Each structure stands twice: as structure tokens, then as C-alpha cells.
């Protein structure tokens, strides 16, 4: 997989940066260290000043790449869904059964790479964790309509779109594929978080992949009924 993906450039909407970070050393460093730092501190306590210190560059230089820390978060999350779409395509290629393809799509959203895979300076393991706790902050705010215009959610929409087509292969009459999928994807992330911090809000099991199985069942029951 690494080899295949190392030839890919994940497309991120150009409204999500001022200068494409992958065109320079500093840009790549911003990406690498921001993933590290947001994972460690959480988005609220993460600042460009701290980021600058850890990179060894002044704050002002970071602002040349991203106009705000919000834009940077949107960039990272968008990159994540772009990368997930790549993984999805590889994962379900040559699988004829749409049910199996759907199962694999849902499993993918909950899977994390074990090794700390580094793609385009992005530690994808950590970015997965960031997506779980921080991604909703890209849209649950009063600037959502602007972010939307800047293309912040295109990659996520495209991912959802691709999987909803699989749902309509299974049942062409199913009316709520996007609704079902965002319920599942966002719900899945939340259950991971609850499992760690608020166990009374979930049903943690020792069985591996119990969250995945739960959501696969939920999806298939809903689609086939």
C-alpha cells in the first residue's frame, strides 16, 4: 500500500491554504508538527506560537501558509478524508458484492493503521485520532457556510457520496444513504471517544471490532428493510 500511495498526491481544496504546504520544507514541517501538537494538546490549547517554537520558525511564517488555526484544521481533516478515499478505492477494488464493499467501507472508517505510517509528512495514525476528537469543530461553528464555500468539506462529501452509491447498489430505493452514513461515521468516532472517556454513554466490549460490527449491522438492517 505504501508504494502505491507514495505516488499519490492527496487533493485538498485550495481554499484551505494560502501556500500549498507540500511545496516547501517549512510547509511540510508545519503539517508534521501540527499533527503531533494537536494530538498532544488538543485543538483548543494548540497555538501557532507553540507550533512555531517547535518548528523553529516564527509565528508569522506559519500565517503565510494558513490564515488561521481553523484553516489549518480544515486542511488536515480534508486531507484525512482525501486519504481515506484513496484507501477506500484500494480496499474495495475488485470486490463484486456491494454488501462486502459497504462492510469494508464502514470498517475502514474505524480502522487505524497500526504502524505510524508517514504519508506526505502526515502521521496518519495521529491524524485519525485528531479526526475523532476534532473534526466536528471544523463545521459546528458560525463560520460553517464560509468554510463550506472554501471547499473545506468537499473530500468528506465525496467520501460519503462514494459509499452512498454502494448503498444504492444494494437497495436502489433506499432514501437516506447520506443520512445513514454520516450517522454511522460520526457515531463511530464518538463511540471510540466515549469508550475512553465516558463509558456510560456507550457499551464497551472486549470483543475486537465490536463498534464496527454494530454499525455494519445497523447499516444492513436499515438498507434491507
Selected binder of DNA within 14, 67, 116, 196 (CB under 7 A): 67
**Residue 58's closest CA among 31, 16, 30, 18?**
30
Phi, psi of 123 (to 5 degrees): -80, 100
Footprint (CB under 8 A) of a copy of itself, residues 173-202 = 175-180, 182-184, 186-187, 190-191, 193-194, 197-198, 200-202
Number of residues that bind DNA (CB under 7 A): 23
C-beta separation of 101 from 95 below 8 A: yes
Selected binder of DNA within 13, 15, 36, 64 (CB under 7 A): 64
Spell out the residues 6+ positions from residue 182 whose beta carbon is closer than 8 angstroms to its own: 160
Query: Cell 523553529 belongs to which residue?
Result: 56
CA R_g for the chain: 18
The residue among 18 and 205 lying less far from DNA, judged by its C-beta, is: 18
Residue 23 engages a copy of itself in binding (rule: CB under 8 A): no
Farthest-apart Cα atoms in the chain, separation? 57
Least separation in angstroms between CB 144 and DNA: 16
With H, G, I as helix, E, B as strand and everything else as coil, classify residue 139.
coil
In order, the DSSP letters of 205-222 are -SSTTHHHHHHHHHHHHH
The partner in contact with residue 221, picked from a copy of itself, DNA, none with C-beta cut-offs of 5 to 8 angstroms by kind, is a copy of itself
**Residue 65's closest CA among 29, 21, 25, 28?**
21
Selected binder of a copy of itself within 1, 41, 89, 100 (CB under 8 A): 41
The partner in contact with residue 171, picked from DNA, a copy of itself, none with C-beta cut-offs of 5 to 8 angstroms by kind, is none
The residue among 62 and 219 lying less far from DNA, judged by its C-beta, is: 62
As a whole number of angstroms, the distance between CA 159 and CA 127 comes to 17
- DSSP classification of residue 16: G
Least separation in angstroms between CB 53 and DNA: 10
Selected binder of a copy of itself within 137, 162, 169, 171 (CB under 8 A): 137
The partner in contact with residue 194, picked from a copy of itself, DNA, none with C-beta cut-offs of 5 to 8 angstroms by kind, is a copy of itself
Least separation in angstroms between CB 81 and a copy of itself: 12
The residue among 42 and 58 lying less far from a copy of itself, judged by its C-beta, is: 42
Amino acid at each position: 500500500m505504501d508504494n502505491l500511495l507514495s505516488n499519490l498526491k492527496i487533493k485538498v481544496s485550495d481554499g484551505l491554504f494560502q501556500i500549498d504546504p507540500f511545496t516547501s520544507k517549512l510547509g511540510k514541517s508545519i503539517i508534521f508538527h501540527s499533527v503531533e501538537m494537536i494530538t498532544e494538546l488538543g485543538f483548543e490549547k494548540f497555538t501557532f506560537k507553540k507550533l512555531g517554537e517547535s518548528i523553529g520558525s516564527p509565528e508569522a511564517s506559519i500565517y503565510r501558509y494558513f490564515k488561521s488555526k481553523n484553516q489549518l484544521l480544515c486542511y488536515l481533516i480534508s486531507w484525512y478524508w482525501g486519504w481515506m478515499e484513496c484507501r477506500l478505492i484500494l480496499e474495495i477494488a475488485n470486490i463484486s458484492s456491494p454488501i462486502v464493499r459497504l462492510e469494508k467501507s464502514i470498517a475502514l472508517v474505524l480502522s487505524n493503521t497500526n504502524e505510524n505510517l508517514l504519508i506526505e509528512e502526515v502521521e496518519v495514525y495521529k491524524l485519525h485520532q485528531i479526526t475523532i476528537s476534532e473534526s466536528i469543530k471544523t463545521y459546528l461553528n458560525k463560520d460553517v457556510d464560509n468554510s463550506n464555500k472554501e471547499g473545506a468539506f468537499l473530500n468528506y462529501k465525496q467520501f460519503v457520496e462514494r459509499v452512498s452509491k454502494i448503498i444504492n447498489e444494494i437497495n436502489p430505493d433506499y432514501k437516506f444513504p447520506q443520512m445513514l452514513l454520516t450517522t454511522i461515521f460520526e457515531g463511530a468516532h464518538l463511540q471510540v471517544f466515549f469508550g475512553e472517556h465516558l463509558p456510560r454513554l456507550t457499551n464497551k466490549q472486549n470483543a475486537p471490532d465490536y463498534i464496527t460490527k454494530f454499525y455494519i449491522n445497523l447499516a444492513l438492517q436499515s438498507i434491507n428493510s
